[in-house]
Amino acid sequence: MEVKITHNEGKTFVKLNGRIDSTSAEQFQKDINPLMEGSDPDIDIDCTGMTYTSSQGLRMILLLQKSVMARGGKLVMRNMNPLVKEVFDITGFSNIITIL
């Protein structure tokens, strides 16, 4: 999973490309670590290239949402493909994260 992070006008923009599964989970966790602490807690994640996530990915996204909320920010995920979106729906994540 490729994680590209940019900052613009006080917001954090993230572009995801690839899969979060058992092979890439550890690396993904390291890649999103900076997002857990940064000073721009408004995070916009472009999921166009995100093809797959396992429960490990969901877990890390949940932790990210918790930390964003604690810092008074907002997490938005956009352009999710329908298969991945279905996973977010089933697990109730669509209710706790803004998915556009």
User: Residue numbers of the site for another protein (CB under 8 A)?
Assistant: 21-23, 52, 54-56, 58-59, 62-63, 65-66, 69, 83, 87, 90-92, 95-97
Cβ-based nearer residue to another protein, 5 or 96: 96
**Rounded-to-integer distance, Cα 91 and Cα 89, Å:** 5
On whether the CB atoms of residues 65 and 41 are closer than 8 A, the answer is no
CB of 28 to another protein, least distance (A): 14
Give the up-direction half-sphere exposure of residue 96: CA atoms within 13 A in the CB hemisphere: 16
Query: Greatest CA separation found in the chain?
Result: 35
Question: Least distance in Å: CB of 9 to another protein?
Answer: 25
Which CB atom, from 6 or from 91, has the smaller least distance to another protein?
91
CB of 55 to another protein, least distance (A): 4
18 membership: H or E segment, kind and range: strand 11-20
Nearer to another protein, 3 or 60 (CB): 60
